[in-house]
Structure 1
């Protein structure tokens, strides 16, 4: 776990540390500076043919939270379309099957250069096949420098138990997991995780994979817990989780630690939703609109 000052150190499962603007003020993010390369290079891997939007949302969130340079990798048949939809990125095509699902075949070769220079990597948004995703992880993790932090979301994290055990071992200590309750249950081999079990299950996942884990409004690491104090039901909308994961990889790429990146990403995502309530009400706003609020929320908390 990160070495933290007392003001931001997590609490116990029964008494979590509340994440507030005051806590975040005592835990400032690294200052972005310099060129797009020195500000942080983020890589987002995902996007089956039917669901490239997850990568678009996550990639935009990474840029909105400060990443200087963005690369994405999606199913080959939609790579050109993603490049046009998100002109700020460099897009790479991945092998896919007849249904448009990413197979993982050759991904390490295709992405070798990007993996070598990325400051943080996100795998998962928009993937839709467990076997292909497990192979994807096995292909790309060996190509990553040992210190590069990795965020796993959606199929990226639920496929982790099916990947080669060497893949999980290689990710220990630098891994961020962003499951919902259903994905958390799958990650642990359970039938379900009820609302009252989220903290305990998150702690178990964090221990098992030596990871920082964020499920719902809770973040856990090293046996300690943090509870986000804002957000409402409108955050439960398609693509919202992709925004959180993208925000986390953007903050990682600019130098935040895994724990700091996820705590900040969770809070900023929720606060962006609160802002949109003023315009749309408690429900009805879209995940893409959350992305566009991220820089304003960051500025209000951090000053840049």
Structure 2
């Protein structure tokens, strides 16, 4: 089997993202993203995910989070709509499907679930709520603790086959596979491929080198955007970037490849001005429009 294809300028040129044309005159025609996540302990995570989706060209963003964080989140991202959800005694989203969330879910092209959720129990309930309402045209990004819950919902996730992107780091991949992190570090490409085949999903295995396993045994490799990207919130940004690209009509593999490239190249750009260590995840999304095709 050939090795993975490098995500470089040649790959970027050969795999363009859909470009908005003159007919995309409204926010709804440019792609709609819904992000579900956050908690009392991590109330700002969706700011990172949501802004990344908008910065990659999505036209409309809605964010669903605990009611106690919703107003503040809406003020941080005034371009977005916010859906306030009840929280449980742990400060996590209390899974349920109020009418406003149901409407948002029915109207989006891409859904990102997981950022900022703090417990497996809450993540599992939210992911189940989503997969119990399948749509044949909905693209799904599963991130953070929600990834560890995919094992128990494999049958339900089959309805999204070919329309999912998983974004695990090595610890989350260990939860998803039952392997220890050492085993994943020893053979990341093979394990990413097995998960991709098992779930019919594109798998973005994040690390200093990122492996993307896609359909038909296709795999990609990105050499990383520098140590500075190993910072809190960086993964939330990547999930949002992929969600935004999916909403524009990119295939899961192209959205994953471009999302990883934008994330890494933005890290390199910010490092040149802020320094290689100590820049913040929220400094990455403003670089995306400068790297995207016009």
Matches within 5 A, 1:105-184: 106-107=96-97, 109-163=99-153, 165-184=154-173
TM-score, length-normalised on structure 1?
A: 0.90
Deviates more, 1:50-59 or 1:241-250: 50-59
Pair 1:190-2:183 in alignment: no
Determine the structure 1 residue equivalent to 2:291. 297
Show structure 1 runs of 4+ deviating over 3 A.
none
Is 1:122–1:151's contact at 8 Å kept on the other side of the alignment?
yes
Counterparts of 1:92 and 1:65 in 2: how far apart (Å)? 22
Determine the structure 2 residue equivalent to 1:54. 45
Is 1:115–1:144's contact at 8 Å kept on the other side of the alignment?
no
Query: What CA deviation, in whole Å up to 9, does each residue of 1:67-109 have, x standing for no partner?
Result: 00000000122112111111111111222111211131x2364
Determine the structure 2 residue equivalent to 1:89. 80
Q: Could you list the runs of 5+ residues in structure 1 that have no partner in the other structure?
A: 1-11
Counterparts of 1:69 and 1:97 in 2: how far apart (Å)? 28
Deviation at 1:198, TM superposition (A): 1.4
**Partner secondary structure for residue 284 of structure 1:** coil
**Partner secondary structure for residue 78 of structure 2:** coil
Matches within 5 A, 1:98-109: 98-104=89-95, 106-107=96-97, 109=99
Is 1:137–1:167's contact at 8 Å kept on the other side of the alignment?
no
Deviation at 1:230, TM superposition (A): 4.5
Match of 2:5 among 6, 17, 21: 17
Is 1:103–1:133's contact at 8 Å kept on the other side of the alignment?
no
Deviates more, 1:118-127 or 1:185-194: 185-194
Counterparts of 1:25 and 1:290 in 2: how far apart (Å)? 22
Deviates more, 1:240-249 or 1:191-200: 191-200
Determine the structure 2 residue equivalent to 1:67. 58
Counterparts of 2:195 and 2:85 in 1: how far apart (Å)? 29
Counterparts of 1:229 and 1:139 in 2: how far apart (Å)? 36
Determine the structure 1 residue equivalent to 2:276. 282
Counterparts of 1:100 and 1:259 in 2: how far apart (Å)? 35
Counterparts of 1:167 and 1:58 in 2: how far apart (Å)? 25
Counterparts of 1:30 and 1:108 in 2: how far apart (Å)? 33
Q: How many residues of Structure 1 are paired with residues of Structure 2 in the alignment?
A: 286
**Partner secondary structure for residue 100 of structure 1:** coil
TM-score, length-normalised on structure 2?
A: 0.93
Deviation at 1:121, TM superposition (A): 0.4
Q: Could you list the runs of 5+ residues in structure 2 that have no partner in the other structure?
A: none
CA RMSD across the alignment: 1.5
Determine the structure 1 residue equivalent to 2:69. 78
**Partner secondary structure for residue 121 of structure 1:** strand
Determine the structure 1 residue equivalent to 2:226. 232
Match of 2:202 among 195, 207, 212: 212
Deviation at 1:266, TM superposition (A): 0.2
**Partner secondary structure for residue 82 of structure 2:** strand
Counterparts of 1:137 and 1:230 in 2: how far apart (Å)? 29
